[in-house]
């Protein structure tokens, strides 16, 4: 049986880097507590594994007690400038695992805001990444998520506008929102800050599914990006199976196939993917 594992399966570069950072800190650290500001990844198994190794998840900086040799790790979503300043005032070590693509948005927003631009963030106001971005212009920005919101938007005072996007925002929708704003004849600087990790993962999954007799999609049942991967693969290959872990895999279903493809959602850790891959290979 030929098995093809998608190169882009599982964690994107930024999340993988953040998770690896926590394990590296644990390896090197002899004393003192290790905290992450929010869960480092949307995957319970990984968060539990880290908890069992002593990592505590903080939900706000206020939860941070006076502790000797404490380390606080910032996750890939990044944080606001106010939070960063508050952390720096504490007697702790900060390890910044903000994804460099998110950090780039912080820098653009901070710089353009200081140059007098008005800032518009295209994204979801509820998302921690967007909340972090807004904190780099003192929350003096507008967040636009829908076409209706773009249509309703009016500028309070005549200023140049800088538009950035949440890294995981849908590109087509971003373009449509920008088009609406451009038609209002404002002086606009558009920075396309969308990260293509999701698109690359989806395109590759579709290609592999098209060329395989069966396809395995690994990821959390509630993960919307894994669901989307499953839909893309199912369209290309009827024998597509959605599993959370190795336990859900019924290999009898695969025995008559010559080629099996494997991909995984954005929060699926590498060890689960490898486990599935080697199990299918050796059966």
- Give the residue numbers annotated as catalytic, written as ranges: 129
Nearer to ligand F3S, 55 or 102 (CB): 102
Q: Quick one: 218 exposed, middle or buried, by C-beta within 10 A (0-12, 13-18, 19+)?
A: buried
Write the interaction track for ligand F3S spanning residues 203-242; mark x where CB under 6 A is met and - where it is not: ----------------------------------------
Q: Tell me how far apart the alpha carbons of residues 215 and 263 are, in angstroms, rounded to a whole number.
A: 8
195 is an interface residue for ligand F3S by CB under 6 A: yes
Work out the angle at residue 116's Cα, subtended by the Cα atoms of residues 112 and 117, and round it to the nearest 5 degrees.
55
Least separation in angstroms between residue 168's CB and ligand F3S is: 6
Site for ligand F3S in 104-163 (CB under 6 A): none
Q: Which structure tokens are listed for 192?
A: 């396309």
Place of tokens 């600087």: 189
Q: Which of 84, 131, 167, 277 binds ligand F3S (CB under 6 A)?
A: 167
| Least distance to ligand F3S, CB of residue 195, Å | 3
What is the spatial distance between Cα 87 and Cα 78, in angstroms, rounded to a whole number? 13
| DSSP letter (8 states) at residue 30 | -
Strand-pairing partners, residue 259, are: 2
Site string for ligand F3S, 65-84 (x = CB under 6 A): -----------x--------
Could you tell me the two tokens for 269? 């850790």
Q: Decide whether 172 or 282 has the Cβ nearer to ligand F3S.
A: 172
Q: For residues 14 and 123, which CB has a smaller minimum distance to ligand F3S in the complex?
A: 14
Residue 99 binds to ligand F3S (criterion: CB under 6 A): yes
- β-pair partners for 122: 144, 165
Backbone dihedral angles phi then psi of residue 215, each to the nearest 5 degrees: -140, 140
Residues lying near ligand F3S in the complex (CB under 6 A) are found at 12-15, 76, 99, 101-102, 167-168, 195, 197
């Amino acid at each position: 049986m030929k098995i093809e594992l998608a190169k882009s399966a599982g964690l994107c570069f930024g999340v993988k880097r953040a998770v690896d950072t926590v394990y590296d800190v644990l390896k090197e650290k002899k004393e003192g507590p290790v905290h992450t500001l929010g869960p480092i990844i949307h995957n319970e198994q990984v968060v539990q594994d880290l908890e069992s190794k002593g990592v505590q998840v903080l939900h706000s900086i206020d939860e941070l007690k006076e502790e000797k040799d404490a380390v606080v790790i910032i996750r890939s979503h990044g944080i606001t400038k106010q939070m960063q300043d508050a952390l720096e005032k504490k007697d702790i070590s900060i390890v910044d695992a903000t994804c460099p693509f998110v950090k780039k948005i912080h820098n653009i927003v901070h710089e353009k805001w200081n140059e007098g631009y008005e800032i518009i963030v295209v994204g979801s106001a509820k998302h921690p990444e967007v909340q972090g971005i807004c904190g780099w212009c003192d929350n003096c920005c507008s967040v636009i998520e829908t076409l209706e919101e773009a249509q309703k938007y009016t500028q309070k005072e005549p200023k140049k506008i800088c538009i950035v996007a949440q890294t995981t925002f849908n590109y087509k929708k971003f373009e449509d929102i920008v088009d609406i704003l451009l038609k209002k004849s404002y002086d606009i600087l558009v920075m396309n800050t969308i990260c293509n990790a999701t698109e690359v993962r989806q395109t590759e999954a579709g290609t592999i599914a098209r060329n395989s007799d069966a396809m395995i999609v690994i990821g959390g049942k509630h993960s919307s990006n894994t669901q989307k991967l499953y839909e893309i693969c199912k369209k290309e290959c009827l024998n597509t199976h959605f599993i959370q872990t190795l336990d859900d895999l019924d290999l009898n279903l695969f025995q008559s196939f010559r080629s099996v493809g494997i991909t995984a959602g954005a929060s699926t850790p590498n060890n689960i993917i490898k486990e599935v891959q080697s199990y299918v290979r050796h059966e």
